[in-house]
Amino acid sequence: QVQLVESGGGLVQAGGSLRLSCAASGRIFSINRMGWYRQAPGKQRESVAIITSRRSTIYADSVKGRFIISRDNARNTVSLLMNSLKPEDTGIYYCNAELTGSQGMGVFWGQGTQVTVSS
């Protein structure tokens, strides 16, 4: 069974940094795309950063220049380094992966990790 597990969330003051990590486990043949999404209460979930198998990246305009996404293909992990955090970065951050496993291709989500940025 494929699972994505996030870690690294927490409470931080504005201007600080956090590093989120996500590990994919299970019978995984390959991972095409991994990314991070976030959602604040009552708001839509939005894409934060995406990285492909070839390490091409796409960032939301609101985080460009502050966040860095990276992946370790050998370990099936993805990380998000968040610098210069702002209160508007507060939300639940979810790991997402499009991958091929024992049941074929599918899209999987982690359980989410809370990030709270205080002013």
Helix, strand or coil, per DSSP, at residue 89: helix
CA nearest neighbour of 59 among 87, 90, 38 = 38
Neighbours of 35 (CB within 10 A): 22
68 and 51 in contact (C-beta within 8 Å)? no
Distance CA 58, CA 46 (A): 13
pLDDT in tens, the chain (119 residues): 899 999 999 999 999 999 999 999 999 999 999 999 999 988 999 999 999 999 999 999 999 999 999 999 889 999 999 999 999 999 999 999 999 998 899 999 999 999 999 99
CA nearest neighbour of 38 among 78, 94, 86, 76 = 94
CA nearest neighbour of 100 among 24, 33, 26, 31 = 31
Structure tokens at 75: 């370990």
